[in-house]
């Protein structure tokens, strides 16, 4: 099975059900299988006992109902025999001694296997023990249905190439040790759950929590679907709840709300799951204690969809839900400030020393430093902010730096570096009118020297302002702004720096300080190392040179966090930034990203300490180890290959 870019579209079907009418139910199931196939699904799952209806009660003892279920299953298989997708439907199966609550797995008219429910609930309206036995009680591990003898067991994995399917049923998910945990350990990457769960107050949130947890702890896709409003409501209403999750993220959370059949879709990223399983060595820790599984192979050939129905965030480092944003930003702010406070406390230093440029990064470092001394109950005057205007410094940034330091109550110093740099140019024989890399880097190193010397003079600690995005791209002067005594921003990507600074301005600061932050946020990102334009405005704009940081942060996340190929990253970027950037621009930025990322590893190999705040850091002592002379050839060549869809 060639999924190409690693996505498989899955469907959760909630058919309109007629209790005990197996012919009607079978017809709806066939119609929804066809519709899901037409919409590009590779697999579709139906609710628990969907062929008969879950609420049949003592009718499950009737041979007529059981024969009707088998007949309907045969019709489903026959009428979908030309469709290349896996269908999972629920029905009762008799093993010769026990009635079992089962899932039948079908592909192109063939019955691949039957999975019995393991945990049978015996409480409330779910008194299934009256009719059904656990799969553990089955007297044989094979069953003959539709003229085929197939496995009858819970420990089955259906091997569809890269897609590895396993099944559990309703209550199984609620068990302390669910079957899905063992399914995943044995290689299943997408778990399907056929359920019939009631609609009672608060239970929807519990289901969602469980599906998130199961998908996260097992690093898998999890597709859950419950019987819906077509079931009998003699004593309960069934929820019609459909949930699709991937590695702890809920992609689809929908409910049947009308008297009609519903299909809910999303795409599972098999590459993402594989990447996380590779990284988490504890994932297979319990494997030696697990019993052998039976593998059932099938020749599913569905391809990765050309477009995605799931959303792809443009800012993967930034909290998406507004409800979560305040708590997440406060947590990040605290991590940064407490990390710096610990370093200050350990070294018994009371004076963070910061080069304050009036730009975003130094603004965040200053805000964090102020919060750190507040935590330690030290006077804010101990924070030393130094503005160092050079050849490219504009009045706007200089005034914003001064105003912000004044409003925060820190000690402010201004040291003009132009004369020192001119003298240095004379010393090394460099023409001051030649504004090349020597011209730029001399200013960055002069500023670092000043900060280091003031730190020595005042018994202080130089706080680095460079962020994670700049480290990734090597956008720092070696032994200049590349060096500090504690790099507080080194785990914060540029897009998050912007959002965090805005959040601090809106929720922590007051009065004029807020206005200063807003103007800083509106200022173009620039190192200000080249002379301003004729109007005194910033001439050297970083994103005009490198490309937009929104793209570079996007590339960084999917390259480091997920290990994706450049071709897949390009596909995701085109999806996320559709209508924002032309494809040619995205591809050019991607080439810039990989070229600079590989060429500038040597700067990261000797980067200073700094706190990790999320899933990605480029510290050589923590999450990223890479030779400084690794070649980028494979990544640069591969990004030009086009997706086959």
CATH 3.40.50.620 intervals, the chain: 322-638
pLDDT of res. 321: 72
7-297 maps to CATH 3.40.50.720: no
Told to judge if 56 belongs to the known catalytic residues of this protein, a careful annotator would answer no
Write out the two tokens for 577: 């930034």
Torsion of CA 354, 359, 361, 366, to 10 degrees: 40
Q: Chain-centre distance of CA 143, in angstroms? A: 41
Q: Among residues 48, 246, 470, 528, which one is catalytic?
A: 48
pLDDT of res. 230: 78
For Cα atoms 331, 334, 335, give the angle at the middle one, nearest 5 degrees. 85
Contact, 520 vs 367, CB < 8 A? no
Residue found under tokens 């912000």: 404
CATH 3.60.110.10 intervals, the chain: 7-297
Q: What is the pTM of this model?
A: 0.89
pLDDT of res. 644: 45
Q: How many other CB atoms sit within 10 Å of the CB of residue 396?
A: 17
Write out the two tokens for 206: 């519990």
Closest CA to 137 of 96, 165, 98: 98
Told to judge if 631 belongs to the known catalytic residues of this protein, a careful annotator would answer no
Q: How many other CB atoms sit within 10 Å of the CB of residue 541?
A: 13
pLDDT of res. 287: 65
The CA–CA distances, whole Å, from 604 to 332, 343, 467, 495, 608 equal: 22, 21, 12, 20, 9
Residue 30 CB-half CA count within 13 A: 18
Told to judge if 170 belongs to the known catalytic residues of this protein, a careful annotator would answer yes
pLDDT of res. 2: 47
Report the C-alpha gap between 192 and 166 in whole angstroms. 6
Q: Tell me, what DSSP letter sits at residue 152?
A: B
Report the C-alpha gap between 517 and 187 in whole angstroms. 50
Report the C-alpha gap between 121 and 139 in whole angstroms. 20
Closest CA to 135 of 153, 147, 158, 121: 153
Contact, 611 vs 336, CB < 8 A? yes
Q: Among residues 102, 170, 220, 589, which one is catalytic?
A: 170
pLDDT of res. 104: 98
The CA–CA distances, whole Å, from 512 to 29, 368, 406, 408 equal: 63, 18, 10, 10
Contacts of 360 (CB under 8 A, 6+ apart): 494, 497, 498, 501, 520, 521, 523, 525
Supply the DSSP string of 405-439, one letter for each residue.
HHHHT-EEEE---HHHHHHHHHHHT--TT--SHHH
pLDDT of res. 280: 80
For Cα atoms 632, 637, 641, give the angle at the middle one, nearest 5 degrees. 145
pLDDT of res. 239: 83
Contacts of 307 (CB under 8 A, 6+ apart): 575
Closest CA to 493 of 368, 639, 629, 612: 612
pLDDT of res. 330: 95
Write out the two tokens for 540: 């050297």
pLDDT of res. 645: 40
Report the C-alpha gap between 263 and 12 in whole angstroms. 6
Q: Among residues 108, 117, 212, 262, which one is catalytic?
A: 117
Contact, 224 vs 193, CB < 8 A? yes
Residue found under tokens 């050297």: 540
pLDDT of res. 1: 47
pLDDT of res. 184: 93
Report the C-alpha gap between 421 and 550 in whole angstroms. 34
Q: For residue 68, give the 3-state DSSP assignment.
A: helix
Q: For residue 501, give the 3-state DSSP assignment.
A: helix
Contact, 230 vs 195, CB < 8 A? no
Contact, 187 vs 157, CB < 8 A? yes
The enclosing H or E element of 498 equals helix 494-507
Identify the CATH number of the domain defined by range 322-638. 3.40.50.620
Counting as low any pLDDT under 50, the low residues of the chain are 1-2, 643-645
pLDDT of res. 290: 59
């Amino acid at each position: 099975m060639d999924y190409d870019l690693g996505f498989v579209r899955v469907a959760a079907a909630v058919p309109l059900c007629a209790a005990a009418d197996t012919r009607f139910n079978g017809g709806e199931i066939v119609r929804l299988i066809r519709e899901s196939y037409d919409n590009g699904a590779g697999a579709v799952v139906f609710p628990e006992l969907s062929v008969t209806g879950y609420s049949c009660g003592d009718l499950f003892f009737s041979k007529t109902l059981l024969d009707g279920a088998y007949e309907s299953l045969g019709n489903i298989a026959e009428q979908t025999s030309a469709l290349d997708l896996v269908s999972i439907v629920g029905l009762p199966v008799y093993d010769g001694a026990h009635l079992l609550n089962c899932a039948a797995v079908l592909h192109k008219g063939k019955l691949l296997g039957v999975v019995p429910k393991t945990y049978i609930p015996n409480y409330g309206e779910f008194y299934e023990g009256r009719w059904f036995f656990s799969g553990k009680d089955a007297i044989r591990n094979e069953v003959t249905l539709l003229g085929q003898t197939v496995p009858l067991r819970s420990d089955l994995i259906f091997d569809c190439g890269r897609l590895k399917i396993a099944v559990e049923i309703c209550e199984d998910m609620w068990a302390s040790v669910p079957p899905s945990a063992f399914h995943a350990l044995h290689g299943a990457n997408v778990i399907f759950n056929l359920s019939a769960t009631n609609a009672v107050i608060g239970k929807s949130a519990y289901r969602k929590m469980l599906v998130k947890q199961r998908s996260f702890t097992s690093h898998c896709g999890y597709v859950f679907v419950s019987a819906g409003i077509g079931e009998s409501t003699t004593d309960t209403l069934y929820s019609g709840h459909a949930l699709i999750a991937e590695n702890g993220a809920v992609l689809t959370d929908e409910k049947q709300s009308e008297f009609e059949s519903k299909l809910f879709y999303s795409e599972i990223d098999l590459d993402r799951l594989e990447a996380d399983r590779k990284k988490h060595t504890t994932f297979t820790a319990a494997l030696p204690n697990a019993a052998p599984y039976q593998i059932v192979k099938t020749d599913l050939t569905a391809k990765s969809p050309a477009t995605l129905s799931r959303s792809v965030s443009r800012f993967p480092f930034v909290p998406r839900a507004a409800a979560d944003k305040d708590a997440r930003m406060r947590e990040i702010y605290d991590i940064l400030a407490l990390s710096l406070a610990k370093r200050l406390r350990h070294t018994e230093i009371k004076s963070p020393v910061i080069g304050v440029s009036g730009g975003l990064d130094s603004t965040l470092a200053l805000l964090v430093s102020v919060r750190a001394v507040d935590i330690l109950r030290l006077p804010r005057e101990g924070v030393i902010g130094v503005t160092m205007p050079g050849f490219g410094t504009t009045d706007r940034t200089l005034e914003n730096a001064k105003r912000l330091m004044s409003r925060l109550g820190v000690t402010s110093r201004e040291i003009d570096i132009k004369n020192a740099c001119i003298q240095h140019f004379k010393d090394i024989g460099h023409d001051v009118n030649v504004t090349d890399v020597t011209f730029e880097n001399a200013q960055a190193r002069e500023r670092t020297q000043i900060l280091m010397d003031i730190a020595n003079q005042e018994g202080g600690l130089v706080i680095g302002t460079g962020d994670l995005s700049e480290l990734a791209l090597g956008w720092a002067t070696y032994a200049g702004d590349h060096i500090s005594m504690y790099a507080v921003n080194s785990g914060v990507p540029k897009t998050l720096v912007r959002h965090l600074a805005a959040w601090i301005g809106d929720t922590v600061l007051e009065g004029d300080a807020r206005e200063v932050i807003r103007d800083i946020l509106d200022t173009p990102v620039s190192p200000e190392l080249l002379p301003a334009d004729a109007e005194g405005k910033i001439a050297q704009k970083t994103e005009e040179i490198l490309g937009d940081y929104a793209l570079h942060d996007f590339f960084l996340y999917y390259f480091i966090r997920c290990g994706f190929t450049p071709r897949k990253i390009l596909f995701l970027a085109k999806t996320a930034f559709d209508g924002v950037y032309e494809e040619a621009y995205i591809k050019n930025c991607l080439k810039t990203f990989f070229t600079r990322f590989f060429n500038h590893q040597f700067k990261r190999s000797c980067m200073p300490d700094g706190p990790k705040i999320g899933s990605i850091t480029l510290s050589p002592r923590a999450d990223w180890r890479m030779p400084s002379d690794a070649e980028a050839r494979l990544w640069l060549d591969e990004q030009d290959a086009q997706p086959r869809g």
